[in-house]
Structure 1
C-alpha cells in the first residue's frame, strides 16, 4: 500500500476517535461542574445543620428567663471540673476548685410593687450584671428561683472569698431598671436598692471531694449566711458553733467594727488563686451612710452568658449589663 493511501486510511480511522474524545471531554467537564454544584449545596446544608445544632444546644443549656447557663449545664460543668481538678499526678494534691451558691433576697417587694413582668426583667438584668463579675473560665448559672451557682476552676479559699464579697457588693449596689434617669420618679429604699445576696462558699478538697459533697457544703454555708441576715458570705465551717450573733464572724477571723464598709475585697478577676483556707470573716452588713465613698476597682468583664469552649453561638450580643449605682448614692 502506498503512503498516500495509508495516510488517508489513518485519517479516516482517527476522526471517530477524535470525536469520541471530544464528547468524553465534554461529559467529564459537565460531570465536574455538577459535582462542584452538589458539593457547594452539601456545604450549605451542613452549615445550616451546624447552626441549627448550635441553636438547639444553646436552648438546651441556657436558662430562658435570665440568659445564663441553666441547671443541666451547671451539673455537667461541675462534674467535668471536679474530674479535671482530681486528675493530677499520683501523690499530688488536687487542683483547687471553688463553688459559690448565691441567693438573692428582696424580689418579693419588687414583684409586689411592679408586677411579675418587671420583677423578671430585674432578675434577668441582675443575672447579666453578675456574669461580668467573674472570669471567662468561670461558669455562672441559675440554680433555681433566685438562686445562682458559680463554678470557679483553679480557685482557692482566698479567691472564692474575694469573688463572694464582690458579688454581694454587686447585688447590693445594682442599679434597678426603674431607677434609670429616663424612668419614672424613683421610690428608692432608705439604703441600697432593697436587694441583698447571701453566698455559700465551698472549696475542693477541703469541703468535699466530688460534686454532691461540694453542693451539700455550699448549701450548708448558704443556710448560715441566710441565718446571719443575708448580705454576706459564709463557708461550711461557719455553719457550726463558730457562727455567733447576727454578724457570724469566724472565731479566727479579724474583728470587724460595726461601721466597717462592706466593699469588695481585692481583685480576683484575673486569678482567684490560693491553696490554703484563709482565716477571713464573711461580709458584714453595714450602713451605707457610714461606708466610705470609694469606688472599687472597676475592670471590664469578659464573660458573656452561655459562653465556653463548646461551639455555641456567642451570647455577647444578648449581654445587657446594667450600670451599678455609685457606692455613696
Structure 2
C-alpha cells in the first residue's frame, strides 16, 4: 500500500477517536463548571445558615425588652468566670466582682406614660448602662427592673467605682420625650425620679465554700444580700459585702456603704447583644482610667 493511501486510511480510522476525545473534553469542562456552580451555591447557603444560626443564638441570649443579655447568657458567663477563678494557680487568682442593680421609680413612669412607653424608657436606660462597662464585662437583665453585671478581673474598689457610675447614670438619664416636636433634655433639671440600689459581691480566690468549691450561687446570694442592705439605706446607692470564698459564709461581712454623685465616667457604645461595641477589654475599672466628666453624658 502506497504512503498516501496509508495516511488517508489512518485519518479515516482516527476521526471517530478524535471526535470522542473532543466530546469527552467538552463534557468534562461542563462537569467542572457545574461542580463550581454547585460549590458556590453550597457556600452561599452555608453562609446563610451560619448567619441564621448566629441570629438565633443572639436571640436566645438577649432579653427581648431591653436588648441586653438575658438570664441564660448571664448564668453561662458567670459559671465560666467562677470556674476561671477556681482553676487559677494558688496566689494568682484573678478578682471577680458581681453587681446586682435594682432601678426604682418606674411605677410613676408607667402611671404617666403607660407600659409600652415605660418599656421603651427601660430599654433606653439599659442600653445606656452598657456604655458604662467594658467589653469584657457582662450586663444582663435579671428580672423586672433588676440587672446583674459581671466584672472579670475587677476588685472591690473597681466594682465600687462602676456601681457609683451606674447609680449616677440612672439618676441623670433623660427620659424619652414623645411630644410632637419635643426635644430630649440633656439633663433633667430636678432628676428623672429614678434611683438605683446596687449590691456588690466579690469572689476572692478558690477557697472552698459549702460543697468543696466556689459556687456561683454563693456569689449571687451575697450580691442579693448586699442589694437588700442598699435598699434599706434608700435614695440610691451601693452596698458591698465582704469577699465570697474567703472562709465561712458571712452575711454583710466587712460591708461598705457608698453611692456618691462625683464618680467619673468612661464613655462607650451600645450593648454587644444589640450589635454594638462596649468598653475596650483593656480598660481597667480604676479611678485613674476614667477621665471624662459626668456632664459629658448626653
TM-score range, shorter chain: 0.7 to 0.9
2:224 pairs with 1:222: no
1:114-263 equivalences in 2 (<5 Å): 114-178=113-177, 182-183=181-182, 191-205=190-204, 209-237=214-242, 240=252, 250=256
5+ residue gaps in structure 2?
A: 243-249, 278-292
SS in 2 for 1:108: helix
2:268 pairs with 1:301: yes
2:7 pairs with 1:7: yes
RMSD between aligned alpha carbons?
3.0
Counterpart CA distance in 1 for 2:48 and 2:20 is 42
2:27 pairs with 1:22: no
SS in 1 for 2:271: coil
SS in 2 for 1:18: helix
SS in 1 for 2:98: strand
1:283 to 228, 251, 259: 259
5+ residue gaps in structure 1?
A: 244-249, 251-280, 285-290, 308-313, 317-323
Q: Relative to total residues, which structure has the larger helix share, 1 or 2?
A: 2
Partner residue of 1:76? Answer: 76
Q: Identify if the C-alpha distance between structure 1 residues 124 and 236 changes in structure 2 by more than 3 Å, giving closer, same or farther.
A: same
Deviates more, 1:25-34 or 1:43-52: 43-52
Counterpart CA distance in 2 for 1:185 and 1:155 is 35
SS in 2 for 1:99: strand
**Structure 1 residue 36 displacement after superposition:** 1.3
Q: Identify if the C-alpha distance between structure 1 residues 80 and 303 changes in structure 2 by more than 3 Å, giving closer, same or farther.
A: farther
Size of the aligned set, in residue pairs, is 267
Partner residue of 2:31? Answer: 31
Counterpart CA distance in 1 for 2:202 and 2:219 is 7
State the Cα deviation string for residues 286-321 of structure 1 (Å, max 9, x = none): xxxxx7xx8x655430452417xxxxxx346xxxxx
SS in 1 for 2:154: coil
Q: Identify if the C-alpha distance between structure 1 residues 185 and 56 changes in structure 2 by more than 3 Å, giving closer, same or farther.
A: closer
Does the aligned pair in 1 maintain the 2:172–2:188 contact within 8 Å? Answer: no
Partner residue of 1:49? Answer: 49
Q: Identify if the C-alpha distance between structure 1 residues 190 and 179 changes in structure 2 by more than 3 Å, giving closer, same or farther.
A: farther
